[in-house]
Amino acid sequence: MAGYIYDLAQLVHQQQLAPVTIVAHSLGGNIALRYAGIYPEAVAKLVAIEGLGPSARALATHRSKTIAERMDEWIREERGLAGRLPRRYASIEDAFRRMQEENPHLSAEQARHLTSHGVNQNEDGTYSWKFDNYVRAWFPYDMSSRDIQALWERIAW
């Protein structure tokens, strides 16, 4: 997580983008909320969709394991993810149809926009989603809840 926050901080710093407007979802929302707490003056507006992190119950279960158990679980999960091959779609239209099937709440225009920006064309002409499977694995350790709360309290509303 710290590496992701650093990447965002460096992007904003090196490109001299502050104050930024950030719209982020899920993991990106979690990263953006923490960044905004570290550098509230660098964030003009922030929309975080589903970025609060795991539930209190999931966190308690995670914390009940030893660091050795968490590390072993994470390593096994990462190894499993390494073997996953991205799904390939014969055409961008096939990828678009898949986007619509998985997200029926999206309008056709929204699904087409997300598809056109969310795929890469492979060497063989097929298309695959721009997605890093490794982000599916839960980190074995992170900031404490108290530290995260302290960062969130620094965000200007």
Q: How many domains does the chain have?
A: 2
Statement to judge: residues 100 and 49 lie in one domain: no
C-alpha distances (whole Å) from 129 to each of 1, 108, 116, 120 are 22, 18, 10, 6
Statement to judge: residues 19 and 46 lie in one domain: yes
Angle at which helices 2-14 and 27-38 pack, to 10 degrees?
60
Mean pLDDT estimate for the chain: 93
Domain around 98: 87-130
Please state the pTM of the whole predicted model.
0.77
Statement to judge: residues 124 and 148 lie in one domain: no
For residues 14-37, average pLDDT: 96
Cα-Cα end-to-end distance for the chain: 24
157 pLDDT more than 80: no
Per the DSSP assignment, residues forming a β-bridge with 45 are 21
Statement to judge: residues 44 and 91 lie in one domain: no
d(C-alpha 46, C-alpha 38), whole Å: 13
Query: What pLDDT sits at residue 53?
Result: 83
Q: Does residue 70 belong to any structural domain of this protein?
A: no
Please count the residues of the chain: 157
Statement to judge: residues 106 and 147 lie in one domain: no
Statement to judge: residues 105 and 50 lie in one domain: no
